[in-house]
Chains A and B, each alone.
Chain A
């Protein structure tokens, strides 16, 4: 029998607000343990939480972007459980009446459009950090207690491991584009649990599902789901039944294994959080937030194609990251040549980012400097090769302007026809064999003569002028 995979994902996305969800403590990463804490996030008696406005707005932004219904009335709830890194003994979350519900996320996969529906998006707070691996005790750092999260719950609409990973990447791109989270999976800003089941192909009924936790990269999400699917099919084929349970992915052993039932047995006894007042989202607030939403990637890519006449593929690549798209537009504006700028981004810039494994925000050449460099080529001050291989490389290491580098290192392009003509004459007289071959029809040797001339002129000659003079000389005799 052939089986079909059915997956739903629950994603926790850490917001990049300056302060925690319910108190004014900083969310700064890497602070010394238990220094970003206060009576509210340490659960001192009598301390009262107050919701961070930015958290609400971030939730609404993500909800609007993913086509959700934004609840006009919504409440916070307490989710009760005991764990040492949860000082209050409950997590403030949402249960009934979450802020966003019934939306969808669309993405391209192998040239096809795929839509995954969302059940809900709700606001909640993170727990602290437990350190188990030193000594005989567990150590608690409460700095992360109360850091705001959005939980995004999908319907079981995902049918392959590739779809799961594509969905996650799209979600990551959206939160980054909106500027509400850095979306970094390895650092835990994006955490994913998967509900996995299988069913006979063609069947309408869902199989029993297991919940997979502890996947901290796109690759491990794919691997864990793949493993779990195969495990379940194996169980069913040998006549067994799937037990509904929570399983942990072990990336080293490459397997999922059940959590002890005690850990998985939950009765959260949700009830409305009496310390926080209900949230009302008026049409007015909604339109204010709508007005703040950035131009989304698909829209921006379409605009790039029509406004700047760049290829659709380039436009898509450049709009995968909002900062990269901003960078492109700024550089293009400075040099006034959007097509050349797109070529530079697609070539030198993206290649350098990949080599250095950095994001555009950490790229050493600011958009304006790149724009100036491109205009130097456009104006004929330097040729394209000098720009790419010499000036660009130097600009990566020093904050100097491209004009200063050109001046300092004597890189200006030589457009002096008589100087070029002189070198060409010498190249031709030094290569009688090649010249004869060229004349007998091996016209590919044209490039050889250009190269030799360029070599003699230390790469600084204007290639267009070399071409023109060479053509004239070779055809004249």
Chain B
């Protein structure tokens, strides 16, 4: 299950990251190391074991459909790198 440089390119594109050649090299190496480490889990026999979707054993944690106050527009925009009037502002997305 080796990670190739092409895999790194593809994952980087999906994650909107860009790397130079040296970084790609290092990333390929690291990702392979990580996968090898996790590979150890495959030594376990998981036959007849249901996939785990959640760490806890609770189900049906639900809310009633009752509105609670939202935060203010000012607070909502506080962490935004850029905003104007009531809106978040981002680089032009060509629609």
Q: Is B64 within 8 A of A53, CB to CB? A: yes
Which 7 residue pairs of A and B lie closest in terms of their CB atoms, listed nearest first? A24-B68, A54-B65, A139-B87, A140-B88, A33-B86, A53-B62, A272-B53
The B60-95 residues at the A interface (CB cut-off 8 A) are 60-68, 70-73, 76-77, 79, 82, 84-95
- With the chains together, A50 CA to B71 CA distance in Å? 17
The reply to whether B76 and A278 form a contact with Cβ atoms under 8 Å apart is no
- Contact B86–A51 (Cβ < 8 Å): no
Q: Which residues of the other chain, B, contact A80 by a CB distance below 8 angstroms?
A: 14
Nearest B residue to A45 via CB reads: B79
* Known contacts A131-B87, A267-B14, A277 near B58 by CB under 8 Å: yes
Q: Which B residues have a C-beta under 8 Å from some C-beta of A?
A: 14, 16, 51, 53-56, 58-68, 70-73, 76-77, 79, 82, 84-95
Give me 14 A-to-B residue pairs in the complex whose CB atoms sit less than 8 angstroms apart, sorted by A's number: A24-B66, A33-B87, A34-B73, A34-B76, A50-B61, A50-B63, A53-B62, A130-B95, A138-B89, A138-B91, A139-B89, A140-B90, A141-B88, A278-B59
Is B70's CB under 8 angstroms from A38's CB? Answer: yes
Compute how far the CA of A32 lies from the CA of B82 in the bound complex, rounded to whole angstroms. 18
Does B71 lie within 8 Å of A37, measured CB to CB?
A: yes
Output the nearest chain B residue to A28 by Cβ-Cβ distance.
B67
Chain B residues whose CB sits within 8 angstroms of the CB of A36 once the complex forms: 70
A50-B61, A277-B61 known; A25+B53 contact, CB < 8 A: no
Q: In the complex, A34 Cα to B90 Cα: how many Å?
A: 14
Give the complex CA separation of A51 and B64 in angstroms: 9
In whole angstroms, what is the CA distance A274 to B65 when docked?
22
Complex contact A137–B65 (CB within 8 A): no
Chain B residues, Cβ within 8 Å of A142: 76, 88
Complex: A44 Cα to B94 Cα, angstroms: 26
Taking CB atoms and an 8 Å cut-off, the chain A residues in 267-291 that contact chain B are 267, 269, 272, 274, 276-280
Distance of A77 from chain B, by nearest CB (Å): 9
Instruction: Assess the B89–A35 pair: CB atoms within 8 A.
Output: no
Which range contains the number of A residues in contact with the other chain?
A: 35 or more
Residue in contact with A138 in the complex, picked from B16, B51, B59, B92, CB distance below 8 Å: B92
Chain B hits for A138, CB < 8 A: 89-93
Q: Is the CB of A279 within 8 A of B67?
A: no
Q: How far is the CA of A276 from the CA of B68 in the complex (A)?
A: 20
Please name all residues of chain B whose beta carbon is closer than 8 Å to the beta carbon of A50 when the two chains form the complex.
61-63
Question: Chain A residue with minimal CB distance to B57?
Answer: A277
**Known A18-B66, A33-B87; 12 more pairs at CB < 8 Å:** A19-B66, A19-B67, A34-B76, A34-B86, A35-B72, A37-B70, A83-B93, A132-B93, A138-B91, A276-B54, A278-B53, A278-B59
Whether B73 and A35, one on each chain, are in contact in the complex, defined by CB atoms closer than 8 angstroms, is: yes
Cβ of B65 and Cβ of A32 under 8 Å apart? no
Q: Which of A25, A33, A278 contacts B70 (CB 8 A)?
A: A25
Q: B-side binding surface: helix, strand, loop or mixed? A: loop
Q: What separation, in Å, do the CA atoms of A83 and B67 have in the docked complex?
A: 27
Nearest CB of B to A292, in Å: 14
**Residues of chain A lying within 8 A (CB to CB) of residue B66:** 18-19, 24
Give the distance in Å from the alpha carbon of A350 to the alpha carbon of B95 in the complex: 41
In the complex, whether A52 has a CB less than 8 A from a CB of chain B is: yes
Q: Are A280 and B67 in contact (CB under 8 A)?
A: no
**Chain B neighbourhood of A279, CB < 8 A:** 59-60
The answer to whether A269 touches B67, judged by C-beta atoms less than 8 angstroms apart, is no
Say yes or no: is A136 at the interface (Cβ < 8 Å to chain B): yes
**Contacts A25-B70, A56-B62 hold; do A277 and B16 have CB atoms under 8 A apart?**
no
Contact A140 B87 (CB under 8 A): yes
A75 contacts chain B at the CB level, 8 A cutoff: yes
Residues of B within 8 Å of A55, CB to CB, are 65
Is A438 interfacial (CB-CB < 8 Å)? no
Chain A nearest CB, measured from B66 CB (Å): 7
Output the nearest chain B residue to A269 by Cβ-Cβ distance: B14
Contacts of B65 in A (CB 8 A): 17-19, 52-55
Residue contact A141 to B61, C-beta cutoff 8 Å:
no
Is A141 a contact of B87 with CB atoms below 8 Å?
A: yes
Does A188 have its Cβ within 8 Å of any Cβ on chain B?
A: no
- Taking CB atoms, residues of chain A closer than 8 Å to B87 are 33-34, 131, 139-141
B16: chain A residues at CB < 8 Å are 82
Q: Do B92 and A137 touch across chains, with their CB atoms under 8 A apart? A: yes
A26 contacts chain B at the CB level, 8 A cutoff: yes
A267 to B12 CA separation, bound complex (whole angstroms): 13
In the complex, chain B residues whose CB is within 8 Å of the CB of A37: 70-71, 76
Q: Are A32 and B86 in contact (CB under 8 A)?
A: yes
B residues in contact with A18, CB < 8 Å: 65-67
Instruction: Report chain B residues within 8 Å CB of A38.
Output: 68, 70-71
A35-B59 in contact (CB<8A): no
* Chain B residue, CB-CB nearest to A275: B54
- Complex formed: what's the CA distance from A74 to B67 in Å? 26
- What B residues does A277 contact at CB under 8 A? 54, 56, 58-61
A271 nearest in chain B by CB position: B53
The answer to whether A132 and B95 have CB atoms under 8 Å apart is yes
Cross-chain contact of B90 among A25, A54, A137 (Cβ < 8 A): A137
